Structure 1
Amino acid sequence: MQTSNSTILDKKYSKLVLQISLSEVSFCIVDTLNNHIEIFSKHPIDKSLQLNEIEKSIVSFIKNTTVLQNNFDDIIVLYNNNLNTFVPQVLFDENYLSSYLQYTIKVFENDFITYDEIPNYEMNNVYIPYANINNALIDIFGNFTYRHAASILVKKILDVSKNIEEPQVFVHCQKNAFQIIAVKNQQLLLYNSFEYKTKEDFIYYLLFCTEQLQLNPETFSLKFLGNISKEDDIYQITYKYIRNVSLYADYNEIERKFSPNDYLQNFILIHGCE
């Protein structure tokens, strides 16, 4: 979705992709003339704060980060939270957005709910953005486009599953949270998001989801991406229970410009630039 009421500036050949969660703000700046990402950056947020304090901390960081005050031709804001669900187009009616969320999260009458269309896949991602942050960003940036981070994540994984008839599971890791996406030849079998505190919590959620899909841990493929390495506890414990575990490193033309670690860590930001 795009905000309005901004003036058209001279071409700067620069794009900002800004990803916001309640635990981290990350961003990249793209030189659009040379199709090159100039900078990746991450800033952790103290989750022990109250919600209004977290929102103020995020807005303060954005206001006081010099590089974010440059002029950009295009600004894309990605909201990364678990306040979302994917709805097939055949079941979708934009007049009833709250009804799609009410079975998985608590929805209040004054919540602002919107959705992203997922191109080529006949479904929509219905979600609640961070309204207070969104309003503050309008004051800071004026015109920008915003989407849900999962819209980028799921579309890209569906793209790379083309012609692969065996079910695949992708796990995108963040600090104390992860998203699980199961696909089969460009069909979305499952999307869910979990918060966890221990590696035992993590493997419980993961094995429960794969069991519901009747996937055999000896045969199905699981690929990690996001904030993860082979040395991490959650990778090691997953490897004990699932045979075919790996880091996702299937590079195409855009991805060859990055190290494997940069690509894994910034998967959503990179594909948010496309």
Structure 2
Amino acid sequence: MNVAYQIQVPVSEIEDAAQCNLYVEVAADHLLFGILDNNKHEFIALQYVNLDKYNAFNHCKELIYHNEWLARSYNKVTVVYYFPESVLVPGPLFDTGLNKTALDIMYGDLNKGEILTDDIPGWNLYNVYRVPAALHQLLGAHFPKGHFYHAYSVVLKRKAQTIKKTEGDEATLIFYPNKLLFALFRNGGLQIIQTFEYETAEDVTYHLLNACRQFEVNCGQIALSVSGLLDDHSSVYSELLKYFLHIELDERPAEFKYNGAFDEYPLHFFSSLFNTALCE
């Protein structure tokens, strides 16, 4: 476990955490959280911790109970899970009695996790997903009034707020170390949302070109919105430029202010976390 990114004012400077919101993103290999000061409408702190995926639960438990920021009581707590077992079900076909069956068919029945459901406004979809039971119990006990969602649900909620009513293909790409969240939209409609793991820059373009081929997407015309932990001078970004002509790096939402320390990082680095605050 190691802290990869950290932006914060001293905890002592926050007189009343009850005037702040806490946003937490949890995956098998990382935990990311940010603090929003509601009075100033300003993000004042952020921490990104890499987890050992073979010991992730114990690392999360240590962070939850010993991190001085996570130990405080906040006005609102939002937890976003980023685990791969997710099935999007059209509203007319949704049946809570079939949630486990749908996940077992897609991903097998070896994982005995907690099954959760998000209703996704604007899409007539339900996101049925499974998270580690012990982790959900830990977070639920520590944040008893917390709101829990899946990362795909947040991406779709935010897309519903910003989607352009134009014809054509668009894709949202959110980069993390060695994995990529990919969502493809055509004429405003969702085609696919999926996570790809990668080790090399060529892996990324392979997955994207394969998706474009399957959905008959013209790489020269599709618009890519890119955010997350991707250096625009990296080999991955250079590979993207070889095949895609319309790439736009996402920026922090203008609806918020940001502690000056955030300026040390590119504007697209943590926009997925900030977008979470706009989706409630």
1:233 equivalent to 2:235? Answer yes
Match of 1:25 in 2: 31
Residues in 2 aligned to 1:130 and 1:111: alpha-carbon distance in whole angstroms: 5
**Contact 1:229–1:247 under 8 Å retained in 2:** no
Rounded to whole Å, the distance in 2 between the matches of 1:156 and 1:261 is 22
Partner of 1:267: 271
8 Å contact 1:87–1:100 — kept in the other structure?
Answer: no
Alpha-carbon distance in structure 1 between the residues aligned to 2:112 and 2:50: 29
- 2: CA distance, partners of 1:186 / 1:70: 40
TM-score when normalising by structure 2: 0.85
Question: Which of 110, 123, 126 pairs up with 2:125?
Answer: 123
TM-score, structure 1 as length reference = 0.86
Corresponding residue of 1:139: 141
Aligned-partner residue type, residue 16 of structure 1: L
Task: Give the whole-Å Cα distance in 2 for the aligned partners of 1:260 and 1:147.
Answer: 29
Give the match for residue 4 of structure 1.
Answer: none
Match of 2:255 in 1: 254
**Match of 2:92, SS?**
helix
User: Alignment identity in percent?
Assistant: 21
- Greater strand proportion: 2
Deviates more, 1:82-91 or 1:94-103: 94-103
Instruction: Tell me the matched-pair count.
Output: 260
In the TM superposition, residue 262 of structure 1 has moved relative to its aligned partner by 5.5
Please report how far the alpha carbon of residue 261 of structure 1 lies from its aligned counterpart in structure 2 after TM superposition. Answer: 4.8
RMSD: 2.3
Moved over 3 A (4+): 108-111, 255-263
Report whether the alignment pairs 1:170 with 2:176: no
Q: CA deviation at 1:29?
A: 0.9
- List runs of 5+ in structure 1 lacking aligned partners: 1-9
1:118–1:239 Cα change, 3 Å: same
CA separation of 1:261 and 1:109: change in aligned 2, threshold 3 A: closer
How far apart in 2 are the matches of 1:270 and 1:252?
7
What secondary structure does 1:63 align onto? helix
Where does residue 187 of structure 1 map in the other structure?
189
Q: Which of the numbers 13, 21, 38 marks the counterpart of 2:19?
A: 13
Q: Deviations over 1:65-85 (max 9, x none)?
A: 111111112111111111112
Q: Answer whether contact 1:181 1:190 (CA < 8 A) is retained.
A: yes
Cα distance change, pair 11–270 in 1 and its aligned pair in 2 (3 A)? closer
Contact 1:158–1:188 (8 Å) recurs in 2: no
**Cα offset, 1:112, TM superposition:** 2.2
1:113 aligns with 2:119: no
Cα distance per residue 1:138-158 (max 9 Å; x no partner): 333333111112211122123
Show CA shifts across 1:206-241 (max 9, x none). Answer: 110111110111222122111112112211111112
Q: Which residue of 1 aligns with 2:209?
A: 207
